[in-house]
Amino acid sequence: MRKLSGILFIIGFAFSVFAQGPSPIAEESLKVIIRGTIVEGQSNLPVEYATVAVLSADTKDLIAGTTTDVDGRFEVSALNDNVIIEASFIGFETKTITEINFNKGIADLGLITISPSSQMMDEVIVRAEKSQTEFKLDKRVFNVGQDLSSTGASALEVLNNVPSVTVGIEGDIKLRGSGGVQMLINGKPSVIADESGNALGTITADMIEKVEVITNPGAKYDAEGTAGIINIILKKDEKKGLNGSITLNTGIPANHSIGVSVNRRTDKFNLFSQFGVGTRTYPGTFETISRNLSTGESIISEGTSEKNEIYYNFILGTDYHFDDYTVVTLSGSYAFEDESENSTSLFSLTDQNNQALSSWRRDELTTAGNPKWQYELQFKKDFKEHKDRSLLFSAIGRAFSKDQMSNFANAYSLGSVDNNFNQNTGTDFGDVNYTFKLDYTHPVSERVNVEAGAQYLLSNVGNDYSVENFIDGNWELQSDLTNVFNYNQGVAAAYATSSYEGDKWGVKGGLRLEHTNLNTVLENTNENNEQIYTNLFPSIHTSYKVTPAISLQAGYSKRIFRPRMWDLNPFFNIRNNFSVRTGNPDLLPEFSDSYEVNAIFIADKGSLNAGVYHRYTTNVVERITTLDGNVSTSIPLNIGTQNTTGLEVNAKYIVNKKITLNGDANYNYFSRAGVYEANNFDFNADQWSARATAKFKLPASIDFEVTGNYRSRVQTLQTLISDYTYLDLGVRKKFMKGKTVVSLSVRDLFASSFRESETNFGDLYQYNFYQRGRFVTLGVSYGFGKGEAMEFSGSRRRH
């Protein structure tokens, strides 16, 4: 709109000059220069593409003109100083300046404030630009209205207004109470949307057209399951100048970081970047008991650990708009983590009478360097004849590597001193992934739409693992615990969907074909395992609008879970020699049929979403623990089938302008049927979880939120996992009209969150406990350009 007003002015000025004949300006040298900056009266923010007209003070004829740049600045020349200035912009009152003082032929008018037109504001209100949610076949669409886009808030605050979506003080995003959400920008992955980088803060609310929420992805998306998809659609015509923030964080345990985010938008370019550096400490306490019920002997250990990290994050990218319909995006990110971990464990071996047979101390020192990078190249072509017709090609590369060394020192306090020994382990790990994707969308008519596309995903992983023992003053390689494992997987996919959408009812169906070629090699023993399989993944979704406030949605999709490298690699982890986790190269993928029925009720003050779901899964992957002497070994196996039926409820209620309540609850019941090596693994169990958040807007621009979390105990095939409850607090204070934000967050206020489990199967009893404790973080963020301060959470980029 701003650009349009400038163009219209220039066209009008050209006609004016043409109608008047040759201008004296063209015949004589220019004598004076007029400069200034136009800003909005309320926010004091620059107005770009505002019109500046130079009129004759005597005749009021137009004699010169220009438009402001992205920073609101202008400079215009005139023949003489007997002029007046008019500054205008669509939706604002025209500002006339009659007193202009020149100094050596230059007049600097400084800041010129313009205010919204009352008539135009009335027109905006009539159009009811209020944010609202609607069903669109396989997704819910949250349209961002004037109530949010005019606030200068960041994308994170927009997401916090979307039903079923919650955003914590630190920027963590959950969908229906679950993490692991895939974030997209304009339908594609982006380093901006990477949750570990928190660059979403560089997008302001008035850049966003709508937010799409997908809880049961269809054939267009990867068949690999996620907690859901959130797709942020940006406005095509928004050129928002400079946005950015600088953030400092400190906390207990040691948590110190600085982050800088910048986004610069012009006519052709959008440049975004982020840099972060910090250090963080993760303390922990643990206890394990492993008991052989046939002999009564137990291995008991307890201890503490402290993991320290220094990390660096860097993001840089740009969008280039060839025209209004064609854009190319190139972006990349790099991160490096320098890790060190110290742990001390006290072990004891006891007999059936709980008498100590031996005891010793095991100290660990681990160091690692973890470089990571990601790049993205994307070409998107829209078509003039229809706003929804588009062609999108993207190429994404990701890499993660780890160079890790661990030293273990054992010192016996009871038992033979000859058993004192040291061990070293080394890990050289690399993981590289490439994704190439082509999507085409073609509207056949206003109600019928078709989509088609293809994708190729290539994964190459290598892990070189070695163990050395210090014997007779020398380090000797332990060949039976040393291996090189290579994992190569290619997935080729193609899909097609077709949809019909009427005023109240719509349906969308699709089919996805995926061909998987997996090869693993254990080089030391030359063991090869190849899996080649082709699968069809159908999906169908439908929605019906009962009333403007009530909608129904139903969907079905087939999903797959492919075993990861760590599930397949038969490596031997000796961090605890008596509790071993290993992989299984013969592991097969899980397949699930996923059904879902949802209803949503949207009112002025809130929304209620309730859904019933059912999943039928085959080749269920379950870790089975076996005992050999005093050593327990856990290995993943495909065991039988599972039926899971659940109910999920999400509610958001705005009590008033100062209080907002959010709640999520999930209950599911599952039944397992399976036999492995003549053992019956049938069992039934249930679990439930709940999360409630209350947000308060206090006086003096203070926001306060409290979140309670509960997860019930759950029974797996062999193990009972305990329930736990924890409470999080957050406080945020805004200064300088939102330009500066000070936040304080407390995670796990009462240090009540922990992992505790008991395994009781055959001759094996095993108990595990681990706890990290309370985390307190204080952050200060300053935002420059347009919008509020934008948070950088100070968290490391996770692989």
The band of 387, judged by pLDDT with boundaries at 50, 70 and 90, is confident
pLDDT tens digits, 189-216 = 665 666 544 456 556 666 678 888 887 7
- Asked whether 399 and 370 are in contact (CB, 8 A), the reply is no
Residue range 2-119 forms a domain whose CATH class is mainly beta
Task: Indicate if the pLDDT at residue 437 is higher than 80.
Answer: yes
Task: Indicate if the pLDDT at residue 637 is higher than 70.
Answer: yes
Residue 761: which of 626, 583, 576, 580 has the closest Cα? 626
What's at 118, amino acid-wise?
A: S
If you compute the radius of gyration of the chain from its CA atoms, what whole number of angstroms results?
A: 31
The span from the CA of 30 to the CA of 75, in Å, is 13
Mean predicted lDDT score pLDDT of the chain: 80
Within a 10 A sphere around the Cβ of 188, how many other Cβ atoms?
18
3-state secondary structure 642-699: EEEEEEEEEEEEEEECCEEEEEEEEEEEEEEECEECCEECCEEEEEEEEEEEEEEEEC
Which pLDDT score, from 0 to 100, does residue 790 have?
Answer: 47
The span from the CA of 10 to the CA of 67, in Å, is 8
**Stretch 249-272: mean pLDDT:** 82
Task: Indicate if the pLDDT at residue 349 is higher than 50.
Answer: yes
**Coil vs helix vs strand at 13:** helix
Asked if CATH classification 2.40.170.20 holds for the domain at 244-785, the reply, yes or no, is yes
Cis peptide before 46 (omega within 30 of 0): no
Q: Please give the residue that has the higher pLDDT: either 303 or 132.
A: 303
**Stretch 600-624: mean pLDDT:** 86
Q: Is 770 exposed, middle or buried (0-12, 13-18, 19+ CB in 10 A)?
A: middle
pTM of the model: 0.71
Considering only 4-8, 504-508, 579-583, 698-702, which range has the smallest mean pLDDT? 4-8
pLDDT tens digits, 25-68 = 333 445 788 999 888 776 677 777 678 888 888 887 778 778 78
What's at 379, amino acid-wise?
A: F
Dihedral sign (CA 123, 125, 129, 134): negative
| Sheet of strand 83-88, all strands in order from the earlier edge strand to the far edge | 62-67, 51-56, 83-88, 95-97
Domain ranges of the chain: 2-119, 244-785
Task: Indicate if the pLDDT at residue 91 is higher than 70.
Answer: no
Considering only 170-179, 218-227, 585-594, 610-619, which range has the smallest mean pLDDT? 170-179
Residues of the chain with pLDDT > 70, as a percent, come to 82
The span from the CA of 781 to the CA of 739, in Å, is 8
